[in-house]
């Protein structure tokens, strides 16, 4: 074919060349600039190379975009990670299987693998949503979610899998890749995703006291790595310490100093855990003593060993014989209590003469629920035989950071309180002085002091994180709403201060149960019943993992059913959802039930404060119509605080008005019988 244009003549011809001879043809014309060769196969190969390069970049961008969407959708990086892991693994598994059976990437396989990647995203999101709903409501089955995913997978595999009967190799490869990829996605999503989610919220089939978060996981891993690394380094140095030509006494003192400093370092490395001392001036290491402490966690020992290098501890068999740090423990002369108190007792006498105190946990084991267990007599026996005093120490807060059933550290504050030394009375059966009686007395002392310390420290602020943890992984909106409410309510401190610790409480319009749960945390003796007519909220409240029989939630519409008897009635932002006639009947009924040490706590908008009520109405529109946190049965009916006061005065009740809001017109009213002491 000859063409001529603009004084340029082009000669075009078609050559039929065997695949093996193409290279010779290209080489023959390589030095001829006026010759151009167009080869379809070359352009296809080059196109595939470019496509593969761009494909890797597009996959990376897609993964980052998908992870960002998961993070925004779920509101928790932990959920985004566990949803993303099956997506990545199924992708790698598919590509790996393709490599094993010799299927190369072509334009069709690239399209199919991208499609499979998208299905992995869909299936992972679908199963995660089912897991969240089950965790949120408690009685949701995963079967419908899994069945929907399975039907989708079967349909897709059937559609593409039929191509396996095609004669063309490309069509067969499409079928094989589809079958392998979708099967991989199903297997990993069905098995791994529920395991990862359950790992976050439960331990050995039981709900965790606080779910695992990325922060807690990182802190725990960091502490574990530091501890094991330090232990291994020290253990590896032990042979050198043994053979050093230094007095054994000095070498042992050095080891004890290292243990003390290392314990201090470990506690400092536990970010998020604060340590505070109470009455530390009572701690006396000028003379040896038997140091006793309640046993809340396996890290108790670390927080006590940092107090002084002149201390040895009683140890159990697995610590004494540990491969990681057993040689250090044995060299430091820690006492193997599992062998009995009379075995090697002379070693204890020797250590005491050298100025060492002995650390003992008289409960013998870690507490399961945070309470003080019965003390054994061993500490008194040792103190008497060695003629030394007992130094009582009390630990609070470690159980909340890492209880016996848990492995992951949680952030919190640890308080260590010190008491005056106690002189042990020698055992004399005739006079009634026994170690058992002294142990019983000290157990009672510890329990009383521990209750006093709990009342002082376990404020609503102390339980804030534990309250939030009960609603983690139940949806970002609920978690955001909870944090907003807690901040606005100052952790519900006002209600905790005014409600007696043994009161019977009816929290009317309890919603998701935030206030009820906080009152339950601050006093387990309160009998609290949360009432609400919103079925979804009651389902969520009932599914709080850690509550006792003293906290119950019931689906009750107070406009149609009678409110149960209680010492304290709480109407928190609920009465403006009820028409005036019904509202007054409800209030009068509660007022008639008031008796000694009973009261009504009512908070609602005062329509007399017009400017501030405008903001209140705006927030209610947000809550009921836009965000839909609250469901309304009737038209919102705001009222005057004077109405409530007049109603209370008519009943001969004491009326207190408390204005704690800066922007809204929400006023708190406390109503009780005259001359009543504050509950």
Res. 661 pLDDT band, cuts 50 70 90 = confident
Interatomic CA distance for residues 632 and 653, integer angstroms? 30
Model confidence at 679, pLDDT cuts 50, 70, 90, reads: very low
Cβ neighbours around 46 below 10 Å, total: 11
Mean pLDDT, range 309-326, rounded to an integer: 88
DSSP 280-319: GGG---SS-EEEEE----TTHHHHHHTT-SSEEEEE-HHH
Q: What is the mean pLDDT of residues 156-175?
A: 83
Average pLDDT over residues 299-327: 90
Task: Please tell me the predicted confidence (pLDDT) of residue 675.
Answer: 66
In this model, does residue 105 exceed pLDDT 70?
A: no
Mean pLDDT, to the nearest integer, of 642-666? 88
Burial level of 32, CB count in 10 A (0-12/13-18/19+)?
exposed
Q: What is the mean pLDDT of the chain?
A: 88
Helix (H, G, I), strand (E, B) or coil at 505: strand
Average pLDDT over residues 173-188: 87
Which of 579, 574, 627 shows the shortest CA–CA distance to 600?
Answer: 574
* Mean pLDDT to the nearest integer, 76-91: 91
pLDDT score of 364 more than 80? yes
Chain centre to alpha carbon of residue 251: 43
Interatomic CA distance for residues 162 and 175, integer angstroms: 7
Bridge pairing between strands 2-5 and 8-11? antiparallel
What integer pLDDT is reported at residue 318 of this predicted model? 85
b/e map 235-268, b = 16+ CB within 10 Å: beeeeebeeeeeeeeeebbebbebbbebbbebbe
| Share of the chain residues as helix, strand and coil, in percent rounded to the nearest 5 | 55, 15, 35
Q: Are 638 and 618 in contact (CB under 8 A)?
A: no
Over residues 559-583, the pLDDT tens digits come to 999 999 999 999 999 999 999 889 9
Residue 677 pLDDT > 60:
no
Higher-pLDDT residue of 374, 433: 374
SS3 assignment, position 667 = strand
Average pLDDT over residues 510-521: 95
Least confident window among 7-21, 62-76, 246-260: 7-21
Q: Can you give the pTM of this predicted structure?
A: 0.85
User: Residue 97: what pLDDT?
Assistant: 83
3-state secondary structure of 202: strand
Span 624-647, average pLDDT: 84
Query: Which residues neighbour 285 within 8 Å (Cβ) at sequence distance 6 or greater?
Result: 307, 308, 310, 357
pLDDT of residue 548: 87
> What is the per-residue pLDDT for 22?
82
pLDDT above 50 (res 15): yes
- Name the CA radius of gyration of the chain, rounded: 36
How large is the average pLDDT for residues 34-50? Answer: 77
When pLDDT is averaged across residues 115-140 and rounded to a whole number, the result is 89
Average pLDDT over residues 197-207: 89
Confidence of residue 432 (pLDDT cuts 50, 70, 90): low
Residue 430 pLDDT grade (very low, low, confident, very high; cuts 50, 70, 90): low
Confidence (pLDDT) at 627:
66
What does the CA dihedral 231, 235, 237, 243 come to, rounded to 10 degrees? 150
Least confident span in 284-288, 536-540, 611-615? 611-615
Mean pLDDT on 647-667: 87
Burial zone of 423 (CB within 10 Å; 0-12 exposed, 13-18 middle, 19+ buried): exposed
- The whole-angstrom separation of Cα 316 and Cα 225 is 23
Q: What is the mean pLDDT of residues 172-196?
A: 89
pLDDT value for 506: 96
CA 89 to CA 452: how far, in whole Å?
52
Indicate whether 629 pLDDT > 60: yes
- What is the rounded distance in angstroms from the CA atom of residue 617 to the CA atom of residue 619? 5
Tokens, residue 453? 């310390």
Mean pLDDT over 284-291 rounds to 93
- pLDDT surpassing 70 at residue 206: yes
158: its two tokens: 């059937």
Query: When comparing pLDDT for 20 and 361, which is higher?
Result: 361
Average of per-residue pLDDT across 365-370: 89
pLDDT at 670: 94
pLDDT of residue 51: 67
How many angstroms separate the CA atoms of 594 and 410, rounded? 42
Query: How high is the pLDDT of residue 678?
Result: 44
- Asked whether residue 46 carries a pLDDT value surpassing 80, the answer given is no
pLDDT of residue 347: 87
């Amino acid at each position: 074919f000859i063409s001529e244009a603009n004084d340029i003549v082009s000669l075009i011809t078609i050559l039929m060349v065997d695949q093996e001879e193409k290279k010779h043809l290209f080489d023959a014309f390589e030095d001829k600039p006026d010759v151009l060769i167009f080869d379809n196969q070359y352009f296809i190969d080059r196109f595939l190379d470019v496509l593969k390069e761009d494909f890797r970049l597009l996959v990376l961008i897609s993964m980052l975009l998908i992870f960002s969407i998961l993070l925004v959708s779920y509101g928790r990086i932990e959920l985004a990670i566990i949803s993303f892991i099956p997506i990545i693994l199924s992708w790698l598994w598919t590509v790996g299987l393709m490599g094993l059976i010799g299927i190369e990437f072509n334009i069709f396989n690239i399209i199919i693998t991208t499609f499979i990647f998208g299905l992995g995203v869909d299936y992972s999101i679908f199963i995660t949503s089912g897991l969240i709903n089950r965790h949120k409501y408690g009685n949701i089955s995963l079967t419908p979610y899994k069945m929907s995913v399975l039907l989708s997978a079967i349909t897709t595999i059937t559609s593409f899998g039929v191509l396996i009967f095609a004669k063309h190799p490309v069509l067969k490869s499409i079928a094989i890749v589809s079958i392998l990829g979708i099967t991989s996605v199903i297997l990993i999503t069905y098995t791994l995703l529920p395991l990862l989610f359950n790992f976050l919220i439960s331990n050995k089939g039981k709900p965790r006291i606080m779910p695992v978060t990325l922060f807690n996981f990182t802190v725990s891993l960091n502490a574990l790595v530091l501890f094991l690394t330090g232990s291994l380094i020290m253990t590896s140095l032990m042979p050198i310490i043994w053979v050093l030509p230094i007095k054994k006494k000095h070498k042992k003192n050095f080891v004890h100093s290292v243990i003390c400093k290392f314990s201090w370092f470990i506690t400092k490395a536990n970010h998020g855990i604060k340590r505070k001392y109470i009455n530390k001036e009572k701690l006396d290491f000028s003379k040896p003593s038997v140091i006793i402490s309640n046993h809340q966690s396996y890290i108790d020992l670390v927080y006590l060993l940092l107090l002084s290098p002149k201390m040895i501890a009683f140890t159990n068999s697995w610590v004494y014989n540990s491969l990681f740090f057993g040689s250090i423990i044995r060299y430091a002369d820690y006492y193997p209590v599992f062998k009995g108190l009379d075995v090697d007792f002379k070693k204890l006498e020797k250590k005491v003469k050298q100025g060492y105190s002995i650390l003992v946990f008289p409960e013998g084991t870690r507490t399961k629920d945070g309470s003080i267990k019965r003390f054994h007599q061993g500490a008194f026996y040792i103190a008497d035989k060695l003629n030394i005093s007992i130094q009582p120490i009390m630990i609070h807060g470690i159980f909340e950071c890492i209880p016996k059933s848990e492995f992951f550290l949680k952030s919190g504050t640890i308080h260590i309180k010190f008491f005056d030394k106690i002189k042990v009375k020698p055992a004399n059966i005739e006079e009634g002085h026994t170690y058992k009686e002294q142990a019983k007395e000290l157990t009672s002392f510890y329990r009383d002091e521990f209750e006093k310390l709990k009342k002082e420290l376990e404020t609503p602020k102390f339980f804030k994180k534990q309250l939030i943890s009960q609603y983690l992984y139940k949806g970002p909106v609920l978690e955001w709403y909870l944090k907003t409410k807690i901040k606005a309510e100052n952790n519900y401190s006002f209600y905790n201060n005014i409600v007696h610790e043994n009161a019977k409480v009816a929290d009317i319009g309890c919603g998701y149960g935030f206030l009820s749960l906080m009152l339950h945390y601050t006093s387990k003796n309160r009998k609290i019943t949360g009432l609400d007519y919103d079925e979804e909220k009651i389902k969520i409240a009932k599914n709080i993992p850690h509550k006792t029989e003293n906290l119950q939630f019931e689906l009750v519409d107070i406009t149609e059913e009678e409110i149960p008897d209680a010492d304290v009635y709480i109407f928190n932002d609920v009465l403006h959802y009820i028409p005036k006639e019904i509202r007054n009947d409800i209030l009068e009924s509660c007022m008639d039930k008031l008796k000694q040490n009973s009261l009504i706590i009512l908070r609602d908008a005062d329509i007399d404060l017009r400017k501030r009520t405008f903001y209140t109405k705006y927030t209610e529109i947000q809550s009921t119509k836009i965000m839909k946190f609250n469901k309304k049965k009737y038209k919102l009916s705001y009222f005057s605080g004077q109405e409530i006061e007049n109603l209370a005065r008519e009943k001969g009740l004491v009326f207190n008005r408390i204005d704690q809001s800066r922007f809204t017109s929400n006023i708190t009213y406390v109503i009780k019988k005259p001359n009543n002491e504050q509950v």
